[in-house]
Structure 1
Amino acid sequence: MSALPTTATHEPEAPIISAVKSNASAENRVHGLKLAILLGSLTLVTFLSLLDTSIIGTAIPHITSEFHSLPDVGWYVGAYTLGAATLQPLSGKLYAYFPTKAVFMGFVFFFELGSLICGVAQSSTMLIIGRAVAGMGVSGIFNGAITVLSAAVGNEKSPLYFGIVLGTSQMGIVCGPLIGGALTEHASWRWCFYLNLPAGGLAVLILAFIHFPELAQKKTFSMALVRKVVPELDLIGFLLFVPPSVMFLLALQFGSGNTHAWNSATVVGLLVGSGVLAVIFILWERRMGDRAMLPGSLVKQRMVWVSCTYGMCNGCCMMIASNWMPTFFQAVKGEGPTLSGVHILPSILSQLSAVIVSGALISKLGYYLPWALGGGIIMAIGNGLVSTFTATTSVGQWIGYQIVVGAGRGAGLQAPLVAVQNAVKPSQVPIATAFLVFLQNFGVSIGIVLSNVAFTQTLTQAIPLYAPSVSSQAALDAGAGAGAVRDLVRGHEDELSGVLRAYSEGLRNIFYFLVGMSCIAVVLSLGMGWVDVRKKKDSTKSTGDNEAQEKKVEEKSLNEA
C-alpha cells in the first residue's frame, strides 16, 4: 500500500492540464451549413441514447415471455444504467486528454455494438450483456456532445445550442414507449435495438467527415501520452467499483428469482463479498483524494452530495415507473404493446411540461429549493395514487394519477443540476455534473433491481393465494405479456381475476417503494441550500466589470508613465 499515489504530492490533473493552452478562439468556430450538419448529427445520436432508455419499457413484457425471464427485468434496465455509471467519471477525463472526435466516435461505437448484441440476443443473459455494452457507450455521448458544441460555437452561444440538443433529445423519452410498442407488436421487439444501427451509422458517417474543434490544444496521441494519462484516470478505482456492484445486483436477482434461497451460501457469499470489496473501493478512493474516480473534496460538500442524492431519488422514480407502467397496462389491463405505450403518455407529457415551466421560473425567480421540495411532495402523492391501480381502475383515474406523478418528477428534475452548478467553483462544474449523472445512473441500477425483487417476491407469494391452480414458477416463466398472463389460467378462467390481483399487488409494492424514495427526496431537498442563482450571476457580472475597470485604470497609468 505504500506505493499508492497520494494527493500530497499531486494536484488533480496538473501534469497535463497545466501544459495545455486554450484553443477557444473565434477562428476555431463552426458556422453555417457545417454547424447545422454537426448539430443535427449530435442531436440524432443523443436522441437515440435517450430513446434507448424508454423504448424497452413496452417491449419488456414480450421479452420476458419469450425468454421466460421475469426475474431478469431489473437487469434489462440496471445493466444499461450501471454501464453508463461506471464509465461516467472517466469520460470527462478522456475528453480532456485525447482528441474529442476519436473519443466521441469510440463511445458511439460501443453504443452501436451493444444495440447489435441486444438485437441478435438468443438468451436473457446475452441481452443483458448487450445492454451493459450500450450503457458504456452512452456514458460518454452527452459529455462529448456538450464538449463539441462548446468548442464549435463558443461560450456566449452555448446555452442556445445546448437547449436545442437536449430539448430535442428529450423527445426520445416521449417517443420511446410509442415506438417500442409499435415495433414490438407489428414487427419484433428486436427492432427496438436494430433501429439504432442505421440511424446511428448515418450520424457516424456524417461526423467522420466533419472537423471537431477542440476547447484546448492537446498533445499528439502517442504511447508516452497514454502512459502520462493513465494515472489520471483512476483505472484501479474503476476496476474496484465494478465487482461489488455486480455482485450486489446478482445477489438480489438470485434471491428474488427463486433460483437460490436468501440464506443460501451463494446469496450470502455475494452480499458479503460485495460489502468487503465496497470497503476496499472506498479506502482506495479516499487515498487517491482529488485524483480519484469520485473526488473526495467534491463529494464531501453538503450541497453537492445532498443535491446528487436527491437527483438519484428523482431518477429512480422516473426510470422505475416508466419501465413498470407498461407491465400494468399489458399484464393487468390486457392491452397490446402499442396501446400501453400510448397510455403512459400522460405521465411523460406532464413531466416534460413541468420541466419546462420549472426551468423558466427558476431562471426568473432565482430559487430552486421550492421546486425540489414541492416536486418531492407531489411525486410522493402521485406514486401513492398510482399504487392503487387494479384491473378495475377507470380511465379517468389512471390518466389523472399519472399526470400528478409526472408533474412531481418534472418539477424537481432540474433542481439538483442547478444546485450543484451553483455550489462549486466554475472549474469544478464538469466534475460535479459528472458525479450527479454517475449517482443517478448507479442509483437507478440498484433501484430497478430492488423494484424487481419487490415485484417477483410479491407475485410468488400472491399467486398461490389468489389462483391455487397456477404455480409461482409458471407465473415467473410466463413473463408479463397480456396473452402469456391469460394463458396461465387456460381451462380454469375463473381464476383470472386472482392472477390479475397478484400482478396488481406486485406493482403496488413497487410504487410503495417509490413513495419511500419520494419521501427521502423531500427530506434531502431541505439541505440543498436557499440560494438565489440570479445573485450569483449578478455578482459574477459585477466582478467582471470591476476587473475590466481595474484593467483600464492600470492601462491609463502605464500610458501616462
Structure 2
Amino acid sequence: MTSLELHDIRAASDTRAAASAGNKANEETPASEIESIEYVSGYKLVLLLISLSTFFFLVMLDMSIITTAVPQITSDFQRLQDIGWYHGAYQLASATLQPLTGTVYSRISAKWVFLGFFGVFELGSLLCGVAQSSTMFIVGRAVAGLGSSGIQNGALTILSSAVPLLKRPVYMGFLIAFGQISIILGPLIGGAFTQYVTWRWCFYINLPLGGLAGLFLAVIHVPDATVKPQISLAVLRQVIPRLDLIGFSIFAPGAIMFLLALQFGSSEYPWNSPTIIGLFCGAGAAIALFLLWERRQGDDAMIPFSMVRIRVVWVSAIQYASLMTSTMLGGQFFPIYFQSVKGVGATMSGVYMLPSILSGLVFVVLSGVLTTRFGYYLPWAVVAGLCTAIASGLISTWGPETEIAEWIGYQVLFGVRGCGAQAAIIALQSNLPPAQSALGIAFLIFCQNLFTAVFAVVGNTIFTQTLLKEISRLAPSVNPAGALAAGGSAEAVRALVPAGSPELANVLLAFSNSFDAACYVLAAAASLSFVMAWGMGWVDVRKKVPEKGTEKGDV
C-alpha cells in the first residue's frame, strides 16, 4: 500500500471522526496510538474469547445444521416445494444487509451493535423453533439471516480491538477453528436432534448458549479501536443520516435479484427462461446504479472506493472468500460421497471427515502461533491455496474402490487450508487504520457470502447435470430424474436398483463421477485463492504494534 493511499484512508477516517466531540479526540491521535490505548487481559480476555467463540460457533452452525433436518421439516409442513427457501431466505437476508454492517460498526460501539445483531439472530431462531407453518419458518430464517449479517465481522472487529495486532493471529485462529468445527459438525448435530429429539432443537440450541455468551460479553468492558460516543437518541440522529441508506436501498434489490436468479435457475426455472434473464438484467442495472452512487458519495459511501481500490483490500477479500468457498463446498459434497458411494450413514460420514476436520483445526492454530512468532502472514496464505488446490485435484480422483489410506491422506492435505483462514483478516488489520477496520472486515465477509452463494450454485449444477448424464450412460434402466429425487443417502441410492442387481456398481460409479466433477469447483476456488495470496503484501505484523500497547497478564 502506497503512502498516498494510506493518506487517503486516514483522511476518510478523520472526516468520519469529526462527527462528534468524542471522535475529535480520535482525530488528533495517530492510528497506532489509538490502537494501543487499552487491551483486554487476564480472565476478562478468557471470558471474551469464550463468548465470541460461542457466537461464532452458533452462527456458522446455523448454516449447516439445517441440511439433515430439512427432509423432516418439509414432511411436517407438507411443503416440499419450499425447500429452496429454507436456505435461500437466510442467505438473501444476510447478503443484502452485510455491506451496511461495516458502516454501523465504524460509527457506534462495536459491542452493543454486535449484541443487537445477535438479538435479532436469536429472535429468528426462536421463530424457527416454534414455527407452525412453512411460511412462519421461512420468515424466521429471514430474520435469523438479518441478524447473522453482522455477527462474523462483528466478532472479528471486537477481537481486533481487544488484543494487540501481534497476538491476533493466535486468538483469531481459535475463533475461526470453532467456525470450521461447526460447519462440519452441523449435519451430524442436526441429524441427531431430528432423529432422537425434534428438529426444532436445531434452533432452540441457539437460545441458552447464545444467552449465556451474551451475558458474558455484556459485563465485559471491550474497548473500541477508535473513540466513539455513547449510544443515545442524539447520537443515533447524527449517525443514521450518515449510514448511506440510499446506497443500501439501491444495493439490496440488486443483490436480492441476483441471488434469486441463482436460486431459481438452479432449481425451478431453466437458465435461459425470461424470469432468470430478467432477474440477472435487473440485478446488473441495480448494481451499476449502486456503483455510480457509491462513487458520488466518496468516503461517506457504504463501501468506500478509497478503501476497496487498495490492492491489499480487494486481493485479501478474494483470497479469503475463495478459500472459505473451498471449505464450505467440501463440507457440502464430502458427505454425499461417503454416504452415496461408500454406503455409510449420516453419523459415520461425519466420522470419515475427521481427517479433514482435525487437520484443518491444527493448521489454523499452528499458522496463528507461527504468524505471531515470525510476523508474516503471506506465506501461510500461499501454502493454504496451493495445498488445497492440489488436495482438491487428488480428491476428484476418488471412486467406489478408493482405499481408506487415500481418502484419509488427501483429506489431511485438504486440511492445510487452515493455514490461510485468517491471513486476510490480519492483512487488512495491519494495513488499514482502526477507523476502517470494521468496514474492511465487513467487505471481506460480504465477498465470502457472495462467492459461496455463486460457487455453491455452480457446484450443485455441475453435480446434478453430471449425474443425469452419467446415470443415463452407465445405468440406463434407472430414471435420471428419480436418481436426483432419491437424494444422496446410502439407502436411497441403493434402492434405485433391485437388491443384488449388477447395475448397482454402475449407479455408484455415476454418483462418484458426479462428485469428482463437483470437486473441480473446489480446485478452481482454491487455485484462485493461491493466485490472490501473492498480492497480500509482505508485512511483518510485529512492527505494527507499539510495546506499550500490551498489558501484563495478557493471555
TM-score using structure 2 length: 0.81
| Residues 373-452 of structure 1: pairs in structure 2 closer than 5 A | 373-407=382-416, 409-452=417-460
- Could you tell me how far 1:338 is from its partner in structure 2? 1.1
Quote the residue 2:482 is aligned against.
474
Quote the residue 1:549 is aligned against.
none
Quote the residue 1:316 is aligned against.
325
Larger-Rg structure:
1
The one-character-per-residue Cα deviations of 1:368-413 (angstroms, maximum 9, x if unpaired) are 3322222211111100111122232222221111111111x11222
User: Out of 282, 292, 298, which is 1:273 matched to?
Assistant: 282
Q: Is the 8 A contact 1:84 1:137 kept in 2?
A: yes
Alpha-carbon distance between aligned partners in 2 of 1:251 and 1:447, rounded to the nearest angstrom: 14
**1:284 aligned to 2:293?**
yes
Which runs of no fewer than 5 residues in structure 1 stay unpaired? 1-7, 545-561
CA distance 1:316–1:122, change in 2 (3 Å) = farther
Alpha-carbon distance between aligned partners in 2 of 1:179 and 1:406, rounded to the nearest angstrom: 21
CA distance 1:382–1:206, change in 2 (3 Å) = closer
Alpha-carbon distance between aligned partners in 2 of 1:505 and 1:36, rounded to the nearest angstrom: 47
* Identity score, percent: 48
Alpha-carbon distance between aligned partners in 2 of 1:196 and 1:173, rounded to the nearest angstrom: 15
- Could you tell me how far 1:25 is from its partner in structure 2? 13
**1:245 aligned to 2:248?**
no
- Could you tell me how far 1:312 is from its partner in structure 2? 1.1
Quote the residue 1:555 is aligned against.
none
Quote the residue 2:271 is aligned against.
262
Alpha-carbon distance between aligned partners in 1 of 2:531 and 2:220, rounded to the nearest angstrom: 47
- Could you tell me how far 1:118 is from its partner in structure 2? 4.2
Q: CA RMSD in A?
A: 4.0
Alpha-carbon distance between aligned partners in 2 of 1:109 and 1:451, rounded to the nearest angstrom: 33
Quote the residue 1:325 is aligned against.
334
**1:501 aligned to 2:512?**
no
Alpha-carbon distance between aligned partners in 1 of 2:42 and 2:354, rounded to the nearest angstrom: 36
For the residue of structure 2 that corresponds to 1:403, the secondary structure is helix
Quote the residue 1:530 is aligned against.
538
The alignment of Structure 1 onto Structure 2 pairs a total of residues equal to 528
CA distance 1:123–1:449, change in 2 (3 Å) = farther
Quote the residue 1:218 is aligned against.
229
**1:334 aligned to 2:343?**
yes
**1:107 aligned to 2:117?**
yes
Alpha-carbon distance between aligned partners in 2 of 1:317 and 1:227, rounded to the nearest angstrom: 42
Q: Is the 8 A contact 1:332 1:482 kept in 2?
A: yes
Bigger mean CA offset, 318-327 vs 19-28? 19-28
- Could you tell me how far 1:309 is from its partner in structure 2? 0.8
Q: Is the 8 A contact 1:285 1:294 kept in 2?
A: yes
Q: Is the 8 A contact 1:79 1:135 kept in 2?
A: yes
For the residue of structure 2 that corresponds to 1:293, the secondary structure is coil
What is the letter of the counterpart of residue 401 of structure 2? T
The one-character-per-residue Cα deviations of 1:222-245 (angstroms, maximum 9, x if unpaired) are 2x5433222221222223223233
- Could you tell me how far 1:267 is from its partner in structure 2? 1.7
Alpha-carbon distance between aligned partners in 2 of 1:167 and 1:296, rounded to the nearest angstrom: 28
- Could you tell me how far 1:281 is from its partner in structure 2? 1.8
Q: Is the 8 A contact 1:303 1:420 kept in 2?
A: yes
Quote the residue 2:4 is aligned against.
none
Quote the residue 1:46 is aligned against.
56
What is the letter of the counterpart of residue 362 of structure 2? S
User: Out of 207, 210, 215, which is 1:200 matched to?
Assistant: 210
| Residues 521-560 of structure 1: pairs in structure 2 closer than 5 A | 521-537=529-545
- Could you tell me how far 1:16 is from its partner in structure 2? 2.6
- Could you tell me how far 1:178 is from its partner in structure 2? 4.2
The one-character-per-residue Cα deviations of 1:192-242 (angstroms, maximum 9, x if unpaired) are 33322332244446667x3756644525522x5433222221222223223
| Residues 79-228 of structure 1: pairs in structure 2 closer than 5 A | 80=90, 83-98=93-108, 102-119=112-129, 130-145=140-155, 159=168, 162=171, 166=175, 169-170=178-179, 171-173=181-183, 175-204=185-214, 210=219, 215=224, 216=227, 218-222=229-233, 224-228=234-238
What is the letter of the counterpart of residue 196 of structure 1? N
The one-character-per-residue Cα deviations of 1:508-552 (angstroms, maximum 9, x if unpaired) are 221111111222222222222233334445xx569x9xxxxxxxx
Quote the residue 1:517 is aligned against.
525
Which runs of no fewer than 5 residues in structure 2 stay unpaired? 1-10, 27-33, 550-555
CA distance 1:442–1:366, change in 2 (3 Å) = same
Q: Is the 8 A contact 1:350 1:403 kept in 2?
A: yes
Alpha-carbon distance between aligned partners in 2 of 1:11 and 1:27, rounded to the nearest angstrom: 18
For the residue of structure 1 that corresponds to 2:347, the secondary structure is helix
- Could you tell me how far 1:19 is from its partner in structure 2? 4.0
TM-score using structure 1 length: 0.80
CA distance 1:228–1:526, change in 2 (3 Å) = same
CA distance 1:32–1:365, change in 2 (3 Å) = closer
Alpha-carbon distance between aligned partners in 1 of 2:231 and 2:361, rounded to the nearest angstrom: 43
Q: Is the 8 A contact 2:324 2:448 kept in 1?
A: yes
CA distance 1:212–1:79, change in 2 (3 Å) = farther
